[in-house]
Amino acid sequence: LFRVAAGEFVMVLMAGPGQVDWRTLRQYLGQSRLTTASEAEVRQVTGYERGAVGPFGLPAPLRILADERIFAPAEVSIGSGVRGTTVILASAALRRALGDVEIGRFAGE
């Protein structure tokens, strides 16, 4: 979860050990500065604790970006809202469930 501006956040879904390329993300969002959300902000914005955040069951609408590589495998594992527990589902089902998510290439090479 990234803080774009005061009170404005964006969630970025990444594949496995992939990490967000900060420069790419800043350019995509048109921002010169981004920070990761604090633990308190993560809980406030998502309702989940850090390490358990998933894109579903959020208390309010949130802009969600997805790195295109998360849809490459047949199945994916996503945060369930409970630390140490994940949800495994077909990539195609995740794509449908996410609806209007913004898909791009946000990971470093």
Q: What is the DSSP string of 28-74?
A: HHT-S--EEPPHHHHHHHHSS-TT---SSS-SS--EEEEEGGGGSSS
Across residues 77-96, what is the average pLDDT? 92
Q: Whose structure tokens read 């949130």?
A: 62
> Cα separation of 109 and 66, whole Å?
16
**Edge-to-edge strand list for the sheet holding 102-104:** 35-36, 2-5, 8-13, 63-67, 102-104
pTM over cut 0.85: yes
Kindly report which listed range (57-61, 64-68, 91-95, 105-109) carries the lowest average pLDDT score.
105-109
For 43-54, what is each residue's pLDDT tens digit?
999 999 988 899
Question: From its phi and psi, is residue 105 left (phi > 0), alpha (psi between -120 and 50) or beta?
Answer: beta
Dig out the tokens for 104 from the structure. Answer: 């791009």
Domains and CATH numbers, the chain: 2-104 (3.90.960.10)
For 61-86, what is each residue's pLDDT tens digit?
999 999 999 999 999 999 888 888 88
Dihedral angle computed from the Cα positions of residues 99, 102, 103 and 108, in that order, rounded to the nearest 10 degrees = -140
Across residues 81-94, what is the average pLDDT? 92
